[in-house]
Each structure stands twice: as C-alpha cells, then as structure tokens.
Amino acid sequence: MTPPTSTGPRTPVLDLLDPVTRRKTRIGLVAGGLGTYWPQFPGLLPQLQESTRYVSERFREMDAEVTDVGFISDAQEGAAAAERLRQADCDLIVLFLTTYLTSSMVLPIAQRSHTPVLVIDLQPTEKMDHASFDTGAWLAYCGQCPVPEVGNVFRRAGIPFRSVSGWLRQEAAWERIGQWIRAAHVRAALRHARHGLMGHLYPGMLDVSTDLTLLPAVFGSHVEILEFDDLRHRVEKVTDAETRARMDLAREVFTLDDTVVEEDFAWGATVSVALDRLVEDFGLDTLAYYHRGLDGEQHERLGAGMILGASLLTARGVPATGEYELRTTVAQLASQSIGAGGSFTEIQALDFEAGVVEMGHDGPAHLAVSARDPLLRGLGVYHGKRGWGVSVEFDVRHGPVTLLGLGQDADGTLSFIASEGTVVPGPLLEIGNTTSRVDFGRDPGEWVDAWSATGVGHHWSLSVGHHAADYRAAADLLGIPYRQV
C-alpha cells in the first residue's frame, strides 16, 4: 500500500459537511385522569398536573416537535383532544395515564388520529408511603390501574397496544420511552421520504428488484424515477470554480492516496456538485442508482464518477447507494434517522480462525461510521462494473454495530431484519472498500446461514451501536414484521 498523503491535523469529517434538514418528528401528548376525583380530593389534580408538566418538559428535550393538548378529565375532553391530535399529523401519540380513567376517554384518540399510540403510566415515586397515605395520595399512584382496561379495549377495537410503566424520574422507564421516540423518528423519516431511483437494475440481481408501489402503500413515501440524463444535464452546468471548490472540500474530508489520478478526482468532484443539485431539485431523501454503460461513453463515466459525491451526500443524511438498491437506501435512512449512521454493506468473506464475518462494500459509504479519516483511492477497475475513478476506503470504528435490512417476501410484505454484533480489530483489505470484521458471538458460517434464511437480500445498512430494540419498535409503529438473528 502506498502511504496516504497527510497535511497535518484534520477537522472531524462531519463538521465540514452541512447536514440536510427535514421535517421534525411530531409527538402528540395528552394526559388524563377521572374528573370525578377532583372535587372529592382537591389536592390530587394539581399534583397530577405537576407530573404532566415534568413529562411534557422531558419530551421537549427530545429531538422532536411536541404537540401537548393538555389534561383531559372526561370523554368529551378526550374527543376534543382526539380532534386536535388528528389535525397535528403526529408520528406518535403518547397517552399519559396519571391515575385511573375510563377507556372511553382515550379510545377516540387512538381511533380518530390513525396514528400509533404509546400508553405511559409513571407514578410519582418508587413506592407509596403507606403509613401516611390517604385515598387521595394513593390515587396519584394509580396510573397502572387502567392500563389493562385500555389494553383490552384497544385489542377489541383492533388497535395495536404498547405501553411503558414506571415512575416519574425512573431513567430506565425513560429509556424505554426514548426507544419509542427513536422508532417515531424512523416512522417520520420513511413516511415523508422521497426516494430517488436513477438508471436501471444491475442485470441479474433479482433480489434487488422492488415493487415500487409498496413503499408508498406501506410507508406513505414517494419514489421519484430519474434518468441519468437528469444528472448529465446538471453536470454540464458545473463550473470549473465549483469543481475546484469541491476538490478542496474533498481534500479536507478525505486522505488522498497516491493512486488518485487528478483527472478522475476532478471528474468525481464535478459529478458531486451536480448530485447535490439533483437531490435539491427533486427534494430527495435517498438515491439509488446504477448504469452499466459501454466503452467509456458519457453515461458510463457518470455512473463511475458517483462514489465521491454519493459518499458526501450519505454523510450529510441523504443515503446514496449503488447497484439500484432502493430497499437498502430505505434501511440506511432508517438508521440515519436515529443518529446511527448506516453504510452500504454486504458479506466479503469469513474468518473461521478469528470467528468473524468480514463485511463492507465498494462505492459510496457513510463517513460517520469510519474509524479514521476516510481514504480516497484511485481504481482502474470497479469489480463487476464498467468504468474507473476514485473510490472510498476506510475501516468501520470498533465496537457495537447493528445490521438493518429491508426484506420483501413472496406476498409483497416488507420487513425489518436486524442483527447485532461487534466490530473487532484485525487485518483488512486495502482495495478501495469500506471494511469491517464483525463478531456475532457464534460460528460465522452458522450466522451466514441464519441471516440468509431471513430473506434479507444481498445488501443492508450497517449502523453504529446496538439498536435492534429501536428497529423492533420502529417495525411495530410501521406495521411491518420484524426478524432478528
């Protein structure tokens, strides 16, 4: 390997790139208790309202837009809250049961909003002071009392039921609540996503083929069909000054290997500028692409010049992936939405001596998962593809990771498929790929068999951290199956 060039201390990669901003996740919040109690126990409602203010403040500290419709005390107020939440177009509604209430107070909220609902019941402290408590004080600890009732009524009404029970300042309970908020981030991202699909299917990769109607039907997202000429038109408008500026940015983000040819580097920078415009013009949240090309013609050169720009877009929060892998860009967007990165990944080899699965991919990668400054390497051949140019290489940071794939079954059902492992040190290929050695705690051959049996497909998203519980919750909110290896 030729030693990479170095220019001294480097700025953290993501600090150099402007993240893409999207519609914030919307969380609806309504608290309630039985109004019959208020005149009977005058101190009860103020205590419950104070707990409600604490819950509302905790939600506002999360990365979401909160619609707090206040406190309800009877079925009429519940119906009014349901209408306000229906208009708010929330990604998740949270019902805070502060004490006993009737199921008739909250059923309309779940029915009319057509939004997933999370029930929480958080008593004031870890336990009651039995010696000093009267009935009014006990009722503040009675939020769990209606949970089975609400669960029964939701089931009879055909509404998915999910709940978190705990006490007000119990961080373990708030972590479980946070899991559902992260799941809501995934639902929000997929529900409003605009997926770009440019070029054509990689010949013969039948697993990559996706029914384009499924994404809007299941998630509510949109698929924008693009031509490589849409990119060509924008490439032709890129100025020399814009190309030079993008090359300067790339030198800050990447270490340039001596194999990088200046002409290829400049071409990748030009395509990168045009890709940014394509994404902006069509309002894209993801982009999957492939073009086979022939004998160095222009569209082949466009396809070969995508890697630099696609990696920069992915790092900014717009997964851009080769081989026409629409479903994998959806999985990457889900990973990105919870702040876990999400890099285009496949199996490379197995190391039975070390007990690891070697993973990675050529082409675009998510710079946020890199263990070091990413490298730009010049390649005269893209294996299995036409063209030549610059490619991205790095090793994934060591520690916990989670794979997430979007499967499609024989009946068209989409599913989330996940597996947690740990990236460990060891020898890596130096061929212009992102690479990692993942220990799943079992024989690597057995893991491959189990993983393949899920129907996951050729590619998936590799995200940093253990997030299987988040992806399971997201699948629940999205109404799709979840499988884990």
pLDDT of the chain, 485 residues: tens digit per residue: 333 333 333 446 667 778 888 889 999 999 999 999 999 999 999 999 999 999 999 998 888 999 999 999 999 999 999 999 999 999 999 999 999 999 999 999 999 988 999 999 999 999 989 999 999 999 999 999 999 999 999 999 999 999 999 999 999 999 999 999 999 999 999 999 999 999 988 888 888 888 899 999 999 999 999 999 999 999 999 999 999 999 999 998 888 888 888 888 999 999 999 999 999 999 999 999 988 877 778 888 898 888 899 999 998 999 999 889 999 999 999 999 998 988 888 898 999 999 999 998 776 778 878 777 788 887 655 544 445 567 787 788 899 999 999 999 999 899 999 999 999 998 887 766 778 899 999 999 999 999 999 999 989 999 999 999 999 999 999 999 999 99
- Measured distance CA(439)–CA(437) in Å, rounded: 7
- Residues 156 and 205 both lie in one domain: no
- Residues 454 and 340 both lie in one domain: yes
> Could you tell me which of 373, 420, 363 has the C-alpha nearest to residue 395?
373
The CATH number for 209's domain is 3.20.14
pLDDT value of residue 2:
35
> Could you give the number of structural domains in the chain?
2
The CATH number for 87's domain is 3.40.50.10940
| Any domain includes 5 | no
Helix axes 468-478, 171-191, angle to 10 degrees: 50
What is the rounded (10 degree) CA torsion for 265, 266, 267, 269? 90
pLDDT value of residue 14:
67
Q: What is the per-residue DSSP string for 103-146?
A: GGGTHHHHHHH-S-EEEEEEESSSS--TTT--HHHHHTT-TTTT
- The burial class, CB within 10 Å (0-12 / 13-18 / 19+), for 187 is buried
Angle, CA of 315, 243 and 360, to the nearest 5°: 35
- Residues 78 and 208 both lie in one domain: no
Structural tokens at position 123: 């008593």
pLDDT value of residue 255:
84
Predicted structure pTM score: 0.90
| Any domain includes 405 | yes
pLDDT value of residue 468:
97
Fill in the amino acid letter for 262: E
- Cα–Cα distance list, 405 to 85, 123, 451, 477 (Å): 32, 38, 10, 17
Helix axes 306-315, 240-253, angle to 10 degrees: 60
Domain that holds residue 338: 13-20+192-484
| Any domain includes 6 | no
| Any domain includes 70 | yes
Structural tokens at position 434: 């992102």
